[in-house]
Structure formats: C-alpha cells, structure tokens
Amino acid sequence: MTEERTGPVLAVFAHPDDAEICAGGTLAKWAARGREIHLLVLTNGDRGSADPFRDRAELAATRRAETLAAAEVLGLAGAHVLDIHDGELENTTEVRGTVVRWIRLVRAETVLTCDPTAWFFRDRYYNHSDHRRAGEIALDAVFPGAGNPHYFPEHLAEGLDVRQVHDVWLGWTNEPNHVEDVTGYFATAMAALAEHRSQVEDGIAYFQQELEREAREAGAEIGAEHGERFRVLDLS
C-alpha cells in the first residue's frame, strides 16, 4: 500500500455522477484533510434519461450544473465537464491530450479513476463502455503521457511542465488491494450524489441503500463503519 499522500488529485470519470458513486467518500475525506482535488468528467451525460422527448442539450447543461453543485458538497477545488456525447467516449489522441494537460496543469500527485479491466461484476452487470474507456484514457495519460516531454510538447511551450504521477487509484475494480476508511464521510458522498437530481430524484433511496450496503461490506474488511475498495498502483 502506498504511503499517504498530501498533494493534488485529479479524478477522471466518464459521467457526471460517477465520482460520487465510485469514490465519493474518499474524495470527501481527502478534501476535508486539505488535498486539492480536481474532477474531470469526460462526457456531458446527455443520454442519461429514459425520456425519449428529453432535450439532450438541456440535459447536458443540467448535468454540468449538477456536477458543479456536487463538487462543492464534496469540497473539491474544481470540476470540469467535457462536451463529448454520453456513450461516445473513445481513447483518442485528443482526449488523452486533454487529460495529460489537466494532470500537468493541476500538478496531480494522485490520479483517481475506474479500473478499465473490470468488464463484468458477478453475473448481474457488465461495465459501461464509457467507464472502461475513461480508466484506459486516464492510465494512458499518466503513463507514458504526462511525464514525457515528447508527448504533447505544445503544453511545455505554454508553460506547463511534465508531471510524474505518484499513485493511481482504480475504483469499480474486481481486484482491490486497498480499502479506504471513509467512516464519517459517507453521508457527504450521499449528499453530493443527491445533487444529481436529474438522475436520482426518484431513486435516491435505492442508490443510498445499495451504496450503504457496499460501503459497510468494504468497511467490515478493515474494521471500519464504511469503506471504499480500490486497486492502488504505487508508481513512485
């Protein structure tokens, strides 16, 4: 397990509510302890509705506003949502370059994202393609991207230096090697999730019950009330 870090964090996720569901307690805890945390959401969430008549541009704007409100609840330093359509995320040079830019800009010591190798969860769910690609993009941006001056050298010309990320935390993983104790911060994560009203207004109780169960199961592994599981890669 990597030593406890104190430097800036870049959280990279596919959809506007992913961070809260995957790692809300951890982000709230780190922010409360003084870490500067930035959230980068790679799609605008414009397909996050079962209503065939919902205006997608309006939904994207709503979800961006919800993301900013949730980030404030978590205590994040900032949140940024890219204007890529939900369900159309691809690991392209352009998107990787954007993530590399953010790593270099915020001087990220830690990158938190989701595990791109996790396709299936038991026999009841398989992972959204955007989730898998978000993790893949984030990992490729960390290495070899952000630390190598020959990747996106235009950043250096703009005054952004290369950045070696020290550790990567992968949530939504089938191979966890660490449980983060989020006792005292789970309620903050749920309050942040509740800001995504377009997604959970009718189903927040279900989300809370499921996430509560998972957090208690993870916490029990380390003797804590609530926990969040991660696969942590120490790159330092």
CATH number of the domain bearing residue 20:
3.40.50.10320
| Residue 15 located in a structural domain | yes
| Average of per-residue pLDDT across 79-98 | 98
Host domain of residue 44? 9-234
13-38: per-residue pLDDT in tens?
999 999 999 999 999 999 999 999 99
| Residue 2 located in a structural domain | no
Cβ atoms of 49 and 32 closer than 8 Å: no
With a cut of 80, say whether residue 99 has pLDDT above it: yes
| Confidence band for 119, pLDDT divided at 50, 70 and 90 | confident
* Token code pair at residue 167: 């550790």
| Residue 56 located in a structural domain | yes
With a cut of 60, say whether residue 230 has pLDDT above it: yes
Q: What is the largest CA-CA distance in the chain?
A: 50
Closest CA to 200 of 40, 16, 12, 14: 16
| Residue 3 located in a structural domain | no
- Residue 80 forms beta bridges with which residues? 40
- Residue 81 forms beta bridges with which residues? 41
- In this prediction, residue 207 carries a pLDDT of 77
Identify the three-state secondary structure at position 198: helix
- In this prediction, residue 201 carries a pLDDT of 65
Write down the pTM of the prediction: 0.95
| Average of per-residue pLDDT across 81-108 | 98
With a cut of 80, say whether residue 205 has pLDDT above it: no
- In this prediction, residue 203 carries a pLDDT of 62
Cβ atoms of 134 and 12 closer than 8 Å: yes
With a cut of 60, say whether residue 2 has pLDDT above it: no
Q: What are phi and psi of 36, to 5 degrees?
A: -85, 115
| Residue 4 located in a structural domain | no
- In this prediction, residue 43 carries a pLDDT of 98
| Residue 62 located in a structural domain | yes
With a cut of 60, say whether residue 1 has pLDDT above it: no
Per the structure, how many domains does the chain have?
1
| Residue 102 located in a structural domain | yes
| Confidence band for 124, pLDDT divided at 50, 70 and 90 | confident
**What distance in Å separates the CA atoms of residue 32 and residue 51, rounded to the nearest whole number?**
37
The amino acid present at 222, given as its one-letter code, is I
* Token code pair at residue 126: 């398989």
**What distance in Å separates the CA atoms of residue 25 and residue 45, rounded to the nearest whole number?**
22
**What distance in Å separates the CA atoms of residue 52 and residue 147, rounded to the nearest whole number?**
44
Cβ atoms of 139 and 197 closer than 8 Å: no
| Residue 1 located in a structural domain | no
Count Cβ neighbours within 10 Å for each residue of 9-45 and write b for 16 or more, e otherwise: bbbbbbbbbbbbbbbbbbbbbbbeeebbbbbbbbbbb
- In this prediction, residue 202 carries a pLDDT of 58
With a cut of 80, say whether residue 204 has pLDDT above it: no
Closest CA to 184 of 66, 33, 70: 33
* Token code pair at residue 123: 């026999």
